[in-house]
Structure 1
Amino acid sequence: MNMEWELLGIILAGMVVITFYCFKIPLDWPAPNHSKEKRETRFDILRGFAMTGIVMIHIHSYFQFFHPADSFTIQNTLLLSNLARFSVPIFILTSAIFLRKKNGYWNSKIKHLILPYTIFSILGYWIKYKDYSVFEFLEFYFFGKVFTPFYFVPLLLQFYLLYYLISSVFTKETYKYWILLLSFIINTVSNLGFFDDYLPKNYQSISILNYIFFFVLGIQIGNSKDTKTLHSNHSQYILSAFFSVFFVLLIVFSHLYVVDLKNHHTIYPIFIMFFLWNHLDQMNTSITKLFNFIGNQSIFIFLLHPFIIHFMHSVDPYTFGGPIFGYLFTLLLNVGIPIFVAITIQKGKFLYQSRHLT
């Protein structure tokens, strides 16, 4: 089924490319604002959608744990989970956009990613497991297995290391499109399972081959110029039409096959990215501000929400008002509590710095 979904996406994407090429329709290509005067927020909004989607994927597992026999509810939480499968690729893509090899390259990554990940991994291992083992912890730590979502950190760190070693290859203007094409082929072949027999089983969940296209695309977007002047209503209509087809087919696939889609399909996240990007201007300001805020706090949500969902496994989600209210309440807790913690820490830092400055 995953193969059919992957090939379907490639066919639809090919149709989009041919349509835009034949009719010479300009496309609003995502590109960052490189001005130092104003912080780029559009990619934070995308990260906000992605982070919310990651939580939705894990909520499905939570509901399935308690009510596997409630087929109607589980099919719908599965649908929401499958709709959110663009999240990890978009998160990797947006993480690559502002990468630059400069002095102190690793300092921010150690401070804002590796150190928090280490602390939460130790705490999570201590809470979740009973028989402690140094070797088991090291295995879980390096492969992101303390909590299932933690695989994202060693995956992302591999990309940071890869960029640090060969950034000149990724940013070389003369053959950047060949690099992008090669990464797309590698990503697609990996999605179809051709590398599974050659990679260690432990490594498969954090294999960069599963997401290499999104990382390369993010780097190229980060080095491109803002193309807002090329904005076209025709591109919006065409992308919306193809997205609607993809959306309907995803619903049919999800309900027909009742299986979890993979996190790393190549086409679906790209459709989502372009669809959201080309409709940001039409979105309600309150909605974009909300997802912008979530995007800014995404690391806190990513590292803290596995603890929340872990403890919630002792409480039936239906006790929060049935399946619908239970779902919404679970989503609110898993996004809201980490944001509250983030705000508390940031205010604490501000007060600490203010006292020392005075």
Structure 2
Amino acid sequence: MEWELLGIILAGFGALYLWAFRIPYSLPHPIATPVGRENRFDILRGFAMIGIVIIHIHSYFQFFHPADTSVIRTTLFLSNLSRFSVPLFIITSAIFLRKKEGYWTSKFKNLLIPYTIASVVGYFIKYNHYTVLEFLQFYLLGKVFAPFYFVPLLIQFYIFYYIFERILMNSKYSNSLLLISFLINLSSNLGFFDNLIAKDYHSISILNYIFFFLLGIRIGLSKEEKNKPAANIFVLLGTFSLIILFLLICFSGIYGVDFKNHHLVYPIFFFLFIWEILPKLSQKVSNWICFIGTNSLFIFLLHPFVIHMMHSFDPYSFGGPILGYIVTLILNVGIPTAIAVIVQKGKSLYQSHHFPEQQ
């Protein structure tokens, strides 16, 4: 609660700063490019995917070395720093969402089938006693592996959007809906709905992330603005970065607080911060992170298998805590990414062999 309220206070100061100095700032928008959709959103997804891996690495180190306080507090800091990841995925998933022909076909083929395969295989690998009812419960709640809860959560939002698409896509209601969703999300974060919904549903409750979903839709409705923010926006973002960094160090290093995934203000700040520094990244780094973003489903579904198998090895066995952390991060991002490359190459070869006229 303390971090939530601090974030809201900081956001209030930021809004006051923008208003007082008359600094124009518009939400990032999904610009259509000659070659397709705006790839900066895929870069954002790449950052989010790396962040999700970092969150789980903390649990991995804590499993083996809970008494090594300095290391665990450091991995906790990096984990808390990455708590923007799931909200950022929700935002970017909503930005390009449109109700069109093949809406459910694409969701079934690109999300549900891979998730189902990963859940079945993961269930047999991770657990010793198998029952159909247990698997169905784990499958529907995304409990086969801890990160899998994101899929049932996302499917609920897809259903929500499909039902209320006309209202959600009406720009007349967008600001009002955004405010209402913020209040609902805040109430959920503060626990006001905990006694009203089943305990097993808490982790996949759309009330925890509804503001991020509506914000993504709002960004998707936004248009290109000719007025660009003045340079003072970087002063604001830089100042806030230092404040947030200090607070993260305090909460992680001193109090040992493990943050939730759905705090309201921090993910939005990180979203805007990353958006502003993207043009300053080298093209090579941008392309690498973009590739991770475009193949995030591979990493999301396969990374839990990698980290689960790695629980047979002490992370310090890779060369100590620092090198062990780096190796763990590279393996959990690199192995699924390599599989994604192989699959894509295989698809490309298959299509060129069987459908040469499409090449």
TM-score range, shorter chain: over 0.9
Deviation at 1:170, TM superposition (A): 1.1
Opposite residue 43 of structure 1, the aligned amino acid is F
Would you say the 8 A contact 1:29–1:227 is kept in 2? no
Deviation at 1:228, TM superposition (A): 6.2
What is the correspondence of 1:137-156 to structure 2 with a 5 Å cutoff? 137-156=135-154
- Contact 1:28 1:228 (8 Å CA) reproduced: no
> Is 1:345 equivalent to 2:343 in the alignment?
yes
In the TM superposition, what whole-angstrom CA distance separates every residue of 1:125-169 from its partner, at most 9, and x where no partner exists? 011111100000000000000000000000001001100110111
Aligned to 1:183: 181
Change (3 A) 1:274 1:228: farther
Partners of 1:123 and 1:192 in 2: how far apart?
36
Contact kept? 1:48, 1:294, Cα under 8 Å: yes
Alignment deviations for residues 174-212 of structure 1 (CA, whole Å, 9 cap, x no partner): 221110000001111111111111110110000000000
User: Aligned equivalents of 1:126 and 1:80: distance in 2?
Assistant: 31
Quick one: which of 23, 41, 44 aligns to 2:42? 44
Match of 1:13 in 2: 11
Structure 1 spans left out of the alignment, 5+ residues: none
User: Which residue number in structure 1 is paired with residue 74 of structure 2?
Assistant: 76
- Conservation of the 8 A alpha-carbon contact between 1:89 and 1:269: yes
How large is the RMSD of aligned CA atoms in angstroms?
A: 1.1
Residue 225 (structure 2) pairs with residue 216 (structure 1):
no
Is 1:306 matched with 2:267?
no
Instruction: Quote the offset at 1:246 in angstroms.
Output: 1.5
The answer to whether the 8 A contact 1:28-1:232 is kept is: no
| Deviation for aligned residue 1:299 | 0.5
Give the match for residue 262 of structure 2: 264
Q: Give the distance between the partners of 1:227 and 1:300, measured in 2 at CA.
A: 35
CA contact (8 A) 1:28 1:235 kept: no
1:28 shift after superposition: 4.9
Q: Which 10-residue stretch deviates more, 21-30 or 113-122? A: 21-30
1:1-358 aligned within 5 A: 3-35=1-33, 37-227=35-225, 229-358=227-356
User: Structure 2 CA distance, aligned partners of 1:186 and 1:247?
Assistant: 27
Q: Which amino acid aligns with 1:334?
A: N
Cα separation, partners in 2 of 1:71 and 1:257, compared to 1, 3 Å: same
Q: Helix, strand or coil: the match of 2:263? A: coil
Contact 1:45 1:292 in 2 (8 A): yes
Deviations 1:214-273 (A, max 9, x none): 000000101111236413211122122122212211211111210210000000001101
CA-to-aligned-CA distance 1:13-57 (integer Å, 9 cap, x gap): 011111111221012521111245443111111101100000000
- 2:143–2:149 contact (8 Å) kept in structure 1: yes
Any gaps of 5 or more consecutive residues in structure 2? none
Partners of 1:357 and 1:256 in 2: CA distance: 60
1:286 positional shift = 2.3
Report the AA paired with residue 21 of structure 2: F
Q: Secondary structure at the match of 1:9?
A: helix
One-letter identity of the residue aligned with 2:207: L
Distance verdict in 2 for CA 1:228–1:247, change over 3 Å? farther
Residue 287 of structure 1 deviates from its aligned partner by: 2.0
Call closer, same or farther: CA 1:36–1:166 in 2, change over 3 Å.
farther
Structure 1: 4+ residue segments shifted above 6 A: none
1:61 maps to a residue whose letter is: S
Any conservation in 1 of the 2:23–2:229 contact (CA below 8 Å)?
no
**What's the CA shift for 1:285?**
2.3
Q: Take 1:230 and 1:29, find their aligned partners in 2: how far apart are those partners?
A: 11
Q: Taking structure 1 as reference, are residues 254 and 330 closer, same or farther at Cα in structure 2, changes over 3 Å only? A: same
The alignment-based identity, stated in percent, is 59
Per the normalisation by structure 2, the TM-score is: 0.97
For 1:354, give the aligned amino acid: S
- Asked whether the equivalents of residues 75 and 255 of structure 1 are also in contact (C-alpha less than 8 Å), the reply is yes
Aligned mates of 1:314, 1:219 — CA distance in 2: 42
